[in-house]
Every structure is written in structure tokens, then in C-alpha cells.
Amino acid sequence: MTRVKRGTIAHKRRKNVLKQTKGFLWSRKTKYRAAKEALQHALQHQFNDRRKKKGIFRRLWQVRIGAATKQLGMSYSKFIGQLKKHNVEIDRKILSDIAMTNPNIFKNIFNMVSK
């Protein structure tokens, strides 16, 4: 019977894990067992943080809109309530961008809904 050399796939998998853990601290980048566990945790955090990022950005937009409306003499919640009452369908991302880059346009929107 001929000799069968094994381990190429296992070696490839281990090499791939170590390549993904490049930049990790201590033995978590060089030792396969530690690297595998560190990578599992890193991927789990990565997955969760992609979802958290959406809420973080929404809070940022709310703070920006709140700061712009405070300067014009209204609270954030009242401003959003007035927008809904007047059926203005501009989302918070666009409103915060307008408030930062074009304060005059934001003021026009503010005056339109605060009548």
C-alpha cells in the first residue's frame, strides 16, 4: 500500500486562523489554540458591534439635531413632534447633515414646522 501524507487541509486551516489573528496581543497571535479562541470572541464582538453602530449613529444624529433646535429655541422632542404633525418625512440622518452643513436651510425647515 502506498503512503498517504495528511495534514495539508489542517495546516491550511491553522495558517488561516493565525493570519486572521495578526495584530493580536501576546500568544494569541502565534499559538493556534489561543488564536482560535481569541478569533471566535473577536468575530462575535464584530458581529454585535455592526448592529450597535446603527444605534450609536442615531444617537449622534439626535444630539446634532437637538443642538441645532436649541439654538432656535425649541427642544428636540417638540421639533420631531412638529415634523410628524406637519408630515415632513426627512429622516434624522439627513436632518443632522442639513443642520451641520446648511444652517439656513435647517432654519427654513424649522420655521416651516414651528408656525
Q: What is the CATH number of the domain that holds 42?
A: 1.10.1900.20
Q: What are the grid coordinates assigned to 74, written together? A: 425649541
| pLDDT tens, residue by residue, 78-97 | 999 999 999 999 999 999 99
Within-domain flag for 26: yes
Count of the separate structural domains present in the chain: 1
Within-domain flag for 85: yes
Q: pTM of the entire structure?
A: 0.78
According to the 3-state scheme, what is the secondary structure of 1-38? CCCCCCCHHHHHHHHHHHHHCCCCCHHHHCCHHHHHHH
Which residue shows C-alpha cell 414651528? 114
Within-domain flag for 50: yes
91 DSSP 8-state letter: -
| pLDDT tens, residue by residue, 40-88 | 999 999 999 999 999 999 999 999 999 999 999 999 999 999 999 999 9
Within-domain flag for 1: no
Provide the domain limits for residue 102.
8-113
Within-domain flag for 89: yes
